[in-house]
Amino acid sequence: MADQTHTRVCIYGAGSIGTYVGGRLQAAGVPVTLIGRPKIAGQIGRHGLRLTNWQGSDVRLDASDIRYVTNDAVAAEADLIIVAVKSAATGSVGKALAGRIAPTTVVLSLQNGIGNARTLADYLPDNPVLTGMISFNVLQRGEGHFHAGTEGELMCESHPVLEALQPFFTKAELPLELRDDMHAVQWAKLLMNLNNPINALSGIPLLDELSQRNYRRCLALLIAETLSVLKANGIKPAKLMPIPMSLLPWVLRSPDWLFKRLASQILAIDPVARSSMWEDLDVGRVTEIDWLNGEVVRQAEKQGVAVPANRRIVALIKQAEQGGRRNWQGRELLEALQEGE
């Protein structure tokens, strides 16, 4: 395996996920430019970059080894642009890149939600725009330290540029799987992301939340409704875990002792890990609820399917964005989601 590649990668939106992926690739021999906020740029400038995961990996890079900028003009230099901004900013990124990047530049959406690659493609009709998915969680721990707290995959559509980079993703401990069913993969990821608002409203780490049956019953409600919407749309989500998605609501509702036996992969989580939506609320950012449960609601309206629990949790997150409650007990949240049934 070559130690370095000449393929230039740009991470557009280097927050938690983007900085982690970009930093890992840089350490593996890929020339990476990170575009993000001044706050993170300042942290890396002072402390360098530390990348850890729940399995004990610990990678450190000096500040001089990281190119982290706040001006997106440098995106024009890249051969591959990985877009990792929040979904609400996708259109702005498309506008910023339009007319600036070469037609040969590959653009990969590594974002939550379903339609971000389509949005980028609308602005970049001459570029290859690919759909990607990353399912693990990354938490900012301050002073340039980013921690991946859960197990997960990195998947995307195939392209020669990504095929050439696969060995470097493996070296970076980010094995990349190239697939031809990314729409089904995206919906499977969205099903798992339905836990994001539950975790954000619980106010506790993911492991603590998923270890409590009432919070899991909340998630089971949201997933069951979404599976009904997918069935009405003729969409079968990809299988990303040993448990079939159709059985997941039943598994989530099971008693704690049985859940621990049936779903050990779901509980393979670092005790400090939290959802990205919790982090958004904690720092006062608008969340991606409209691109997660909100997407379920929109698709349900098209098919005439009732999704009261998903509607309710969208409303609760909107309230939390305005300073509303963020410390719901499992029983309280379950009762709130059941109100509309």
Rounded-to-integer distance, Cα 149 and Cα 271, Å: 8
What are the residue ranges in the chain where pLDDT is below 50? 1-2
CATH topology identical between 9-180 and 185-338 = no
pLDDT of amino acid 1: 40
State pTM to two decimals.
Answer: 0.93
The per-residue pLDDT for 240 is 86
Distances (CA, A) of 86 to 61, 158, 272: 25, 23, 22
- From 183, 194, 186, select the one nearest 307 (Cα to Cα): 194
Query: Distance between terminal CA atoms of the chain?
Result: 56
Which residues lie below 8 Å from residue 326, measured CB to CB, with a gap of 6+?
Answer: 200, 201, 203, 281, 320
Q: How far is CA 210 from the centre of its chain?
A: 18
How do the domains of the chain map onto residue ranges? 9-180, 185-338
d(CA 10, CA 76): 9
Predicted pLDDT of residue 340: 57
According to the model, what pLDDT value does residue 3 have? 73
Which pairing describes strands 80-83 and 176-179: parallel, antiparallel, or unpaired? unpaired
Helices (H), 124-212: 160-171, 182-193, 195-202, 206-210
The CATH number, out of the four listed (3.40.50.9100, 3.40.50.300, 3.40.50.720, 3.40.640.10), of the domain defined by the range 9-180: 3.40.50.720
β-partners of residue 269 are 150
pLDDT of residue 341: 56
In CATH terms, the fold of domain 185-338 is N-(1-d-carboxylethyl)-l-norvaline Dehydrogenase; domain 2 (1.10.1040)
